[in-house]
Amino acid sequence: MSKLEDLKKELKEHWKRTEKERKHTHSGILYKKFLKNNGVDIKTNIRII
């Protein structure tokens, strides 16, 4: 079990370290464009009417 717990911990740390990079990937940029084109404020994720 210790090995499994270590792997889970490593994955969580890796996920936190790479969060910034994931936001700037191609899919992240496309998602922001999608929200913007559908009238959603990107910073607050609130739909603009």
* Confidence (pLDDT) at 10: 92
**Torsion (CA) 17, 19, 22, 31 in degrees, nearest 10:** 180
Decide if 1 contacts 7 (C-beta within 8 A).
no
Strand partners for 40: 47
What are the structural domain ranges in the chain? 2-47
pLDDT in tens, 1-49: 698 899 899 989 988 888 777 777 777 778 778 777 777 776 676 666 5
Enter the pTM of the model. Answer: 0.41
